[in-house]
């Protein structure tokens, strides 16, 4: 199969910040980028050569879009399977629609992981209140009920502390098909962002440590502060996942790490991942350039990391008391500012991130937190004055 060379157009289904950073990496290498989503003036569209605004259900529009590019990829996994199939009629889709089909729905994803013999959180399929009651008897409490589809950043989830909450939990998720998961007492959450080429080549960014706040990723740290054995195990499990799914592109494997050092796969994301944003500044080849290389059939790039790094998300909450002072953030000379071009800073909405580079992990964490705190302090001071 011939590689898709610079000068070609690559199509992106989805138009958020992941697509934006992919487009920046692609254009730097001389590619054109077209984006397709129901919205306009999007984070991806602002830096793309062409932005097509149409519903994913408009399959004729999808086919026209795909005929205008040499390959199609995703920037988020909630693209309907029918959309991916329509695009595949006209251009290579990478990762394939079958990968999307498996990973965009929790029942299919967890069933795949279990059948592949991979370590996965104990779960039960729930399609009725009666099945939920049975699942709680088998898994005990606490447990977490999650909708089978369209759940992210804690949405569509209910933590069940006692069996008596079953009815409340079932109603809270809209009485929809769901997965009941045993509550895992974990010490850390880690992820491995990895890529697989058309030729089966494999590259990864090592274990990245993640801290969440209100179910939204708050801080990512690389390399993760884990043992060498845990690091190797996480990397090997990621390789197995990509091979068994026959991924061509980038995929992130999210893990729980228990106090005993056991890794359990929590979720898969068949695309670049928030925890891998730091690779944009910290690595020879970012996860976004790696996605481009894989999709285009180019050799995968080096994932060597220049130095330890930490990434802090900037949510809309940072704007709650006024416009952050970007001059203050820029004074932190080893902190990089990334903003996504979103105009409406709603609470909980991912508006951007900061990445700090430092000689040690501890210094990177202190630096990125200090820079983010300075933004909030300055905005508060300006409001008071």
| Domain match, 162 and 202 both | no
Beta strands in 38-99 (DSSP E): 50-53, 71-74
| Domain match, 198 and 176 both | no
**Spatial CB neighbours of 341, under 8 Å, sequence gap ≥ 6:** 20, 43, 46, 47
Asked if the structure places residue 114 within a domain, the reply is: no
Cα separations (Å) of 22 from 26, 279, 280, 374?
6, 12, 10, 29
Beta strands in 56-201 (DSSP E): 71-74, 123-126, 143-147, 157-160, 178-182, 186-196
Among 198-202, 289-293, 317-321, 373-377, where is mean pLDDT lowest? 373-377
Element (H, E) at 241: helix 228-245
Element (H, E) at 382: helix 361-384
Tally Cβ neighbours within 10 Å of residue 117. 9
| Domain match, 22 and 158 both | no
Cis amide linkage into residue 223, ω under 30° from 0: yes
Reply yes or no on whether the pLDDT at 384 is more than 50.
no
Of 93, 109, 139, which residue sits at a domain end? 93
**Spatial CB neighbours of 162, under 8 Å, sequence gap ≥ 6:** 141
Of 93, 114, 141, which residue sits at a domain end? 93
Asked if the structure places residue 110 within a domain, the reply is: no
| Domain match, 195 and 240 both | yes
Asked if the structure places residue 303 within a domain, the reply is: yes
| Domain match, 228 and 367 both | yes
Reply yes or no on whether the pLDDT at 10 is more than 90.
yes
User: Which CATH number characterizes residue 33's domain?
Assistant: 3.40.50.20
Distance separating alpha carbons of residues 202 and 113, to the nearest angstrom: 19
| Domain match, 282 and 377 both | yes
Domain count within the chain: 3
Which pair of structure tokens corresponds to residue 41? Answer: 């003036």
Q: What percent of the chain has pLDDT above 70?
A: 96
The string of pLDDT tens digits covering residues 53-78 is 999 999 999 999 999 999 999 998 88
Asked if the structure places residue 293 within a domain, the reply is: yes
Reply yes or no on whether the pLDDT at 169 is more than 90.
yes
pTM for the full predicted model:
0.93
Asked if the structure places residue 320 within a domain, the reply is: yes
Asked if the structure places residue 105 within a domain, the reply is: no
Q: Are 75 and 51 a contacting pair, CB within 8 Å?
A: no
Reply yes or no on whether the pLDDT at 6 is more than 60.
yes
Q: Are 57 and 79 a contacting pair, CB within 8 Å?
A: no
| Domain match, 62 and 205 both | no
| Domain match, 235 and 351 both | yes
Reply yes or no on whether the pLDDT at 379 is more than 50.
no
| Domain match, 140 and 289 both | no
User: Which CATH number characterizes residue 241's domain?
Assistant: 3.30.470.20
Angle in degrees, CA 300, 305, 307, rounded to 5: 170
Element (H, E) at 315: strand 309-315
The average pLDDT across 297-315 equals 98
Which pair of structure tokens corresponds to residue 225? Answer: 């502060």
- Rounded to a whole number, what is the largest CA-CA distance in the chain? 63
User: Which CATH number characterizes residue 176's domain?
Assistant: 3.30.1490.20
| Domain match, 67 and 126 both | no
* pLDDT for 154: 55
Of 182, 207, 228, which residue sits at a domain end? 182
User: How high is the mean pLDDT of the chain?
Assistant: 94
* pLDDT for 152: 59
* pLDDT for 38: 97
| Domain match, 69 and 202 both | no
The average pLDDT across 118-122 equals 94
The string of pLDDT tens digits covering residues 205-260 is 999 999 999 889 999 999 999 999 999 999 999 999 999 999 999 999 999 999 89
Domain housing 59? 9-93
Asked if the structure places residue 221 within a domain, the reply is: yes
The string of pLDDT tens digits covering residues 345-355 is 999 999 999 99
The string of pLDDT tens digits covering residues 254-282 is 999 998 999 999 999 999 999 999 999 99
| Domain match, 75 and 127 both | no
The average pLDDT across 98-107 equals 94
Angle in degrees, CA 238, 242, 247, rounded to 5: 150
Query: Smallest Cα–Cα separation from 255: which of 288, 232, 278?
Result: 232
Angle in degrees, CA 44, 47, 52, rounded to 5: 55
Reply yes or no on whether the pLDDT at 94 is more than 90.
yes
Reply yes or no on whether the pLDDT at 97 is more than 80.
yes
Strand-pairing partners, residue 335, are: 356
* pLDDT for 155: 67
Asked if the structure places residue 203 within a domain, the reply is: yes
Reply yes or no on whether the pLDDT at 385 is more than 90.
no
* pLDDT for 301: 98
């Amino acid at each position: 199969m011939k590689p898709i060379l610079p000068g070609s157009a690559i199509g992106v289904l989805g138009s958020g910040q992941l697509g934006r950073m992919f487009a920046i990496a692609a254009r730097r290498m001389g590619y054109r980028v077209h984006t397709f989503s129901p919205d306009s003036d999007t984070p991806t569209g602002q830096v793309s050569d062409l932005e097509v605004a149409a519903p994913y259900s408009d399959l004729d529009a999808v086919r026209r879009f795909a005929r205008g590019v040499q390959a199609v990829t995703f920037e988020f996994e909630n693209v309907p399977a029918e959309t991916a199939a329509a695009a595949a009629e006209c251009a290579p889709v990478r990762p394939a629609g079958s990968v999307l089909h498996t990973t965009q729905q929790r029942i299919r994803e967890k069933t795949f992981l279990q059948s592949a013999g991979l370590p996965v959180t104990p779960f039960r399929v729930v399609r009725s209140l009666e099945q939920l009651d049975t699942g709680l008897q088998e898994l005990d409490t606490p447990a977490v009920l999650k909708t089978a589809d369209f759940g992210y950043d804690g949405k569509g989830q209910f933590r069940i502390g006692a069996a008596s909450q079953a009815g409340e939990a079932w109603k809270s998720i809209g009485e929809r098909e769901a997965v009941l998961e045993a509550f895992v007492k974990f010490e850390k959450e880690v992820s491995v962002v990895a890529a697989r080429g058309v030729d089966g080549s494999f590259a990864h960014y090592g274990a990245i440590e993640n801290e969440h706040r209100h179910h939204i990723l708050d801080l990512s740290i690389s390399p993760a502060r884990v043992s060498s054995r845990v690091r190797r195990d996480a990397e090997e499990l990621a390789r197995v996942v990509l091979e068994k799914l026959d991924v061509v592109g980038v995929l992130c494997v999210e893990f729980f790490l228990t106090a005993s050092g056991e890794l359990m796969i929590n979720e898969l994301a068949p695309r670049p991942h928030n925890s891998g944003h730091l690779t944009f500044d910290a690595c020879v080849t970012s996860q976004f350039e790696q996605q481009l290389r894989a999709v285009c059939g180019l050799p995968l790039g080096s994932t060597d990391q220049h130095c330890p790094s930490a990434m802090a998300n900037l949510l809309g909450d940072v704007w709650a008391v006024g416009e952050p002072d970007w001059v203050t953030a820029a004074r932190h000379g080893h902190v990089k500012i990334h903003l996504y071009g979103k105009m409406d800073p709603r609470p909980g909405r991912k508006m951007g991130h900061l990445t700090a580079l430092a000689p040690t992990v501890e210094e990177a964490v202190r630096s990125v937190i200090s820079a983010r705190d300075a933004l909030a302090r300055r905005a508060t001071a300006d409001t008071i004055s």
